[in-house]
């Protein structure tokens, strides 16, 4: 039985020790548990129309007021506790969005100054985020470059370089 006030990591470890697995017999990871406890099924509600997708478009989240909800079963998490957690998640999301905006503005200023962006330029800039910070928030430098409006010049692939070396022959 899980204790109250456990972190997602503690819950994941506890469930793993109990032999409880997720989809495809894989262990339940921290992100999976975070998703499970953040959906309204925990409080016994079925929720519909959370997202909308236009034909061949990307899905976007609808405002809470448009969601359709109805009680389906007894809650497994107290409603008050769920509401409190949801508010704390919203605060974390707002902080993360704020940090991400600052990262992009910093990258856009760097791009305006240097006309390009690179890991070396990011790390060499005083007062700006490091390349590691960018990767930790965005996931990859190339993704951050694109979002900042920079498309790095293409590099020849290893195979192209190999073919050129083979054409040139031995030293």
Tell me, yes or no, whether 165 lies in a domain.
no
Question: Residue 126: pLDDT above 80?
Answer: yes
Number of domains in the chain: 2
Query: Which residue has 């548990």 as its token pair?
Result: 33
Residue 137 to residue 144: CA distance in whole angstroms: 9
* 46 plus 73 within the same structural domain: yes
Helix, coil or strand: residue 106: helix
Tell me, yes or no, whether 105 lies in a domain.
yes
Q: Pick the more confident residue, 116 or 154.
A: 116
Q: How confident is the model at residue 1 (pLDDT cuts 50, 70, 90)?
A: very low
Tell me, yes or no, whether 168 lies in a domain.
no
Domain around 124? 80-148
- Smallest CA-to-CA distance from 150 within 121, 119, 113, 107 is with 107
CB 70 within 8 A of CB 45: yes
| Domain end point (choices 52, 77, 102) | 77
* 47 plus 94 within the same structural domain: no
Question: Residue 23: pLDDT above 50?
Answer: yes
- Smallest CA-to-CA distance from 43 within 71, 75, 69 is with 75
- pTM for this entry: 0.44
Tell me, yes or no, whether 61 lies in a domain.
yes
* 16 plus 68 within the same structural domain: yes
Tell me, yes or no, whether 26 lies in a domain.
yes
* 98 plus 124 within the same structural domain: yes
CB 68 within 8 A of CB 47: yes
Residue 52 to residue 59: CA distance in whole angstroms: 5
Question: Residue 156: pLDDT above 60?
Answer: no
Query: Which residue has 């190339």 as its token pair?
Result: 142
* 135 plus 85 within the same structural domain: yes
**Burial group, residue 103, by CB count within 10 angstroms (0-12, 13-18, 19+):** buried
* 84 plus 134 within the same structural domain: yes
* 87 plus 52 within the same structural domain: no
Q: pLDDT digit string (tens) for 53-96?
A: 888 778 888 888 888 998 888 887 788 877 777 777 666 666 76
Question: Residue 32: pLDDT above 70?
Answer: yes
């Amino acid at each position: 039985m899980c204790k109250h006030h456990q972190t997602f990591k503690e819950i994941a470890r506890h469930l793993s020790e109990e032999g409880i697995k997720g989809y495809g017999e894989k262990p339940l990871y921290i992100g999976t548990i975070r998703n499970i406890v953040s959906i309204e099924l925990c409080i016994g509600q079925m929720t519909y129309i959370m997202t909308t997708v236009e034909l061949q478009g990307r899905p976007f989240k609808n405002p809470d007021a448009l969601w359709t909800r109805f009680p389906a079963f007894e809650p497994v998490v107290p409603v008050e506790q769920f509401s409190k957690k949801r508010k704390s998640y919203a605060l974390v999301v707002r902080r993360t969005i704020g940090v991400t905006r600052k990262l992009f503005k910093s990258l856009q200023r760097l791009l305006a100054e240097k006309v390009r962006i690179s890991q070396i330029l990011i790390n060499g800039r005083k007062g700006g985020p490091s390349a590691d910070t960018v990767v930790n928030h965005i996931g990859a430098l190339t993704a951050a470059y694109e979002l900042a409006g920079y498309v790095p010049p293409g590099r020849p692939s290893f195979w192209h370089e190999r073919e050129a070396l083979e054409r040139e022959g031995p030293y």
